Amino acid sequence: MTGARRYEERTAPAAYGTIWRNAFTGDESVIVPDGCMDLLWTGETLLVAGADSCARVFAPGQGGCLLGLRFWPGVLPQLLRTGADQLVDSVVGLDSVIGRDARRWERRLAAAEHPDLALVDLAADAVADLAPDRRPFHVAADLSSGLSIAQVAERTGYSSRQLQRLAGQWYGYGAKHLQRVLRLRRADRLLAAGRTRAGAAAAAGYSDASHLWRDQQALDEPQPSAANRSTGLPSGSVMTA
């Protein structure tokens, strides 16, 4: 999320994800796609944030703090027993996805002195009970490494068409789009580490710096439909800082 006032995160491997907290002003900010899905705790409600296909505007309307658990690509759909393609580009209440079981999680978080620890514990227990399918992790890692769709399909034993269909269920969009998103986030990390734009582009698998720029414009600049899309945060439910 760009434009936020204060953001911090730490890895939560037992929950197959990253726990994060974002303190923000009431100003608009931009959320860029990362191929992941999140659980969001507003202080009252648990929300599911589907994978974003492109950047969108976050307009809270007031200052506050949001707690989230960002899962590795392909994990949360398994926990929810729902295809990621059913939740792409949306933010909905967890109860609308899993029903009354969401209330148990919300009660636990509302009573916790440290909701971040409680959220990680709940997710870690759910992951342990699930014994998740690890194929989505391997496919995402291969796509992030720069392998072509055909090469990834060959490594997994799927046809390119099968991989495209499974990617929609696992990540919310096809393998090619996920590859573009992951490549762009890899370039971001390289730029943050001090690489030149040309060097980051080459290391991330772009043909040149102009290719990187075009993907930044296509994926990280909110499109009209994304700019008008609500985050789905219920009015008055944002945690106060």
- CB-based burial of residue 29 (10 Å sphere; 0-12 exposed, 13-18 middle, 19+ buried)? middle
Q: CB neighbours (10 Å) of residue 189?
A: 12
Which residues, other chains included, contact 97 with Cβ-Cβ below 8 Å and sequence gap of 6+? 48, 80, 82, 87
pLDDT in tens, 9-67: 999 999 999 999 988 777 788 889 999 999 999 999 999 999 999 998 887 767 788 89
Is residue 229 over pLDDT 90?
Answer: no
Q: Which domains does the chain have, with CATH numbers?
A: 6-132 (no CATH), 135-224 (1.10.10.60)
* Coil, helix or strand at residue 93: strand
* Coil, helix or strand at residue 222: coil
Contact yes or no for 171/51 (Cβ under 8 A): yes
Q: What DSSP element (H or E) covers 21?
A: strand 17-24
pLDDT in tens, 87-126: 999 999 999 999 999 999 999 999 999 999 999 999 999 9
Which residues, other chains included, contact 1 with Cβ-Cβ below 8 Å and sequence gap of 6+? 7, 22, 24, 29, 30, 31, 32, 58
Is residue 2 over pLDDT 70?
Answer: no
The number of helices, as runs of H, and strands, as runs of E, in the chain is: 11, 8
Please, what is the average pLDDT of the chain? 88
Contact yes or no for 90/80 (Cβ under 8 A): no
